[in-house]
Amino acid sequence: MRERIEAANAQAVGRITSADPVLIDIAPAGEVIPGLVGRMILHSGPPVGWSRMCGAQRGACIGMVLFEGWAKNPAEAEQLLASGAITLEPNHHHQAVGPMAGTITRSLPVFVVKDTASGSRACCRQVEGRQQFGDYSDEALDGLRRWRDVWAPSLRQGIQQKGGVTLRPIIAKALQMGDELHNRPVAATTLFADVMALAMVEAGVSKNNLLATLAHLTYNEFFFLGLSMASAKAFCDAAAGIAYSTVVTAMARNGTEFGIRVSGLGDEWYTAPAPRIDGLYLTGYSADDAGLDMGDSAITETVGWGGFVLGGAPGILSLIGGTSEQAMQISRDMGEITVATHPTYRIPALGFVGAPVGIDIVKVMRSGIVPVIDTAIAHKDPGYPKIGAGMVRAPSECFEKALQAYARRYGLS
């Protein structure tokens, strides 16, 4: 039995470490996300209805209803959402992920990343600091419209010109430049910008659109998070559904619940109440304003980035707090609950050891060490932009429930 589990886990983690992500398109979600039809909003985390949805995610949904023109004002949008006329489903049920509230609707262009090793494909929406945090103001929605009308189409031209953008070299290099690819995708963004500048010039993108898009890439350090998330989701889907594997294939939060999925346990979610984040706040906000942990972005930790390689990304500590010694210790701790280190994604500050990959629910329960996620903080109420960032520990209850289900499924005592 033990050998069976180890073999299954080796297979699961092998899918993650051998993955070769390529950005193949940026296209309206309705054209590329399976099952995203009509008046549907995809959201982050495990399933949650409107009545239990947290403030920030509600605000983001209101924003998407307005963005799609399904309602004329926030009150009408809220009414529509409360009436059940808008279908709400998790991104994770549609081969997709989204940062923070994670909201995706049919008109919103999304990144399409294909793992050419497994053939697995996943989508993620763009990253910004307002609407995805629950801000549905006209200024917040303007960012979505600029993305839809200018930035996304210009980048798409570049991607088509190149025939796809291979992301592995960018990811590997960025991890050696102090990125952890979750809350610090700074190097990856600038490396991606270099590649896309060439591609967009080559493709003949108009001067105005080129300038606007290059400026967006240059002054939006979080840009690449959408690509690390889409990549990670593609890897995890490739690693999912392997009988006997105890490797985690999703960690996702909706601000109400934190949920995980496990390779050997199919599509089932194992949930616990979303935890509170320990972090630093932007001027004018405090812990009293904070919503609970939210977003699909913990998919980056699921493949060994984010909190798992914090020791290699001390620059992030000015954003989330803590010392570089603590960051190193967290990375070492994450090594205790994973089944492998990545052969290519190596961290100089950790002696060029590979990123710890493949969270094992058995190791988590045995060691008492839970995954550490570095994350942004949204307001508890609808209508606010980003208010801070910090660190959060995954609830052990999720792993406990998963292990119980595993025991039932595979007949362990």
Nearer to a copy of itself, 82 or 211 (CB): 211
Q: How far is the CB of 350 from a copy of itself (least distance, A)?
A: 8
DSSP single-letter state for residue 262: E
Would you give the end-to-end CA distance of the chain in angstroms?
12
Question: How many residues in total does the chain contain?
Answer: 413
**Residue 137 exposed, middle or buried by CB count within 10 Å (0-12, 13-18, 19+):** middle
Nearer to a copy of itself, 188 or 303 (CB): 188
Near a copy of itself in 351-390, by CB under 8 A: 351-352
Nearer to a copy of itself, 140 or 349 (CB): 349
Q: How far is the CB of 191 from a copy of itself (least distance, A)?
A: 6
Tokens 């549609």 sit on residue: 94
How does strand 165-166 pair with strand 248-254?
unpaired
Near a copy of itself in 204-263, by CB under 8 A: 204, 207, 210-211, 214-215, 217-218
Among 176, 329, 344, 396, binds a copy of itself (CB under 8 A): 176
Tokens 């070299």 sit on residue: 169
Among 323, 332, 366, 404, binds a copy of itself (CB under 8 A): 323
Nearer to a copy of itself, 153 or 178 (CB): 178
Among 18, 324, 329, 344, binds a copy of itself (CB under 8 A): 324
Q: How far is the CB of 316 from a copy of itself (least distance, A)?
A: 8
DSSP single-letter state for residue 404: H
Nearer to a copy of itself, 80 or 212 (CB): 212
Among 194, 266, 267, 407, binds a copy of itself (CB under 8 A): 194
> Residues touching a copy of itself: how many (CB under 8 A)?
36
Among 35, 84, 169, 348, binds a copy of itself (CB under 8 A): 348
Near a copy of itself in 279-298, by CB under 8 A: none
Near a copy of itself in 79-108, by CB under 8 A: none
User: Are the CB atoms for 270 and 246 separated by under 8 Å?
Assistant: no
Among 350, 359, 387, 391, binds a copy of itself (CB under 8 A): 350
Q: Does 74 bind a copy of itself (CB under 8 A)?
A: no
User: Are the CB atoms for 354 and 367 separated by under 8 Å?
Assistant: no
Nearer to a copy of itself, 212 or 405 (CB): 212
Residue 112: how many other CB atoms lie within 10 Å: 26
Q: CA torsion angle for 110, 91, 250, 3 (degrees, to 10)?
A: -100
**Residue 207 exposed, middle or buried by CB count within 10 Å (0-12, 13-18, 19+):** exposed
Tokens of 269: 């979610």
Tokens 């189409």 sit on residue: 153
User: Are the CB atoms for 75 and 133 separated by under 8 Å?
Assistant: no
Q: Does 307 bind a copy of itself (CB under 8 A)?
A: no
Q: How far apart are CA 228 and CA 366, in angstroms?
A: 30
Q: Does 329 bind a copy of itself (CB under 8 A)?
A: no
Q: How far apart are CA 382 and CA 57, in angstroms?
A: 7
Residues that bind a copy of itself (CB under 8 A): 173, 176-179, 186-187, 190-191, 193-195, 197-198, 201-202, 204, 207, 210-211, 214-215, 217-218, 314-318, 323-324, 348-352
